[in-house]
Structure 1
Amino acid sequence: MRYIKDIPNPQFKIGLYQWNSKYIIKVESGMYEQTYKIDDYEIQELPELEQCIDNDFISAVSRRFDAMHDDFSDTLKRNNVVF
């Protein structure tokens, strides 16, 4: 996987990569991450891909991270891994 650049964001670490004829957007928050892939032939220039990381997208990502955290915490408690 080839690192291209970080995309500035005050809330999350967002990295842009290229691998296997795809662009990969990796969004990280603590111990969780979300990955989004798009075929590189769909993108003419990188700025149009960066433009897609708008406020609505970041809000959805944030809600998904909250749900991921809740799901993981619930299973840890349910299986007596943490108390």
Structure 2
Amino acid sequence: MRVVSDFTKDGIKITLFDWNNKYLLKFEAGGMEQTFKIAALDVTDESDLEELTQGTFFDQVKERFDEMNQSLQKALKNF
């Protein structure tokens, strides 16, 4: 597995890996993570994947982290 790029945006660590004819796009916030696998054949250039770290897709990733955090906090209250 090769790290293609690694940066932080809006408090979310974003890492792009090249692995087994796939790209793995991993978002990490606190103890949570979301990973998306993208076939290498679906991408013309690695730089195209940077578009997924902006706009609507990235907004949805942030919303999902909020939902995940709320779910976890709710579950922890029940202990």
Larger Rg: 1
* AA at the equivalent of 1:70: Q
| Larger strand fraction of residues | 2
Aligned to 1:2: 2
State the Cα distance separating 1:72 from its structure 2 match.
1.1
Count of equivalent residues: 79
Is the contact made by 1:7 and 1:50 (CA closer than 8 Å) also made in structure 2?
Answer: no
Following the alignment from structure 1 to structure 2, what is the Cα–Cα distance between the partners of residues 52 and 6? 14
CA offsets 1:40-75 (integer angstroms, 9 cap, x no match): 111121111112322212211111001101111111
Structure 1 residue runs of 5 or longer lacking an equivalent are none
TM-score with structure 1 setting the length = 0.83
| Identical columns (%) | 35
2:33 corresponds to 1:30: no
Structure 2 residue runs of 5 or longer lacking an equivalent are none
Aligned to 2:14: 14
* AA at the equivalent of 1:19: W
Aligned Cα RMSD in Å? 1.4
Structure 1 moving runs of 4+ over 4 Å = none
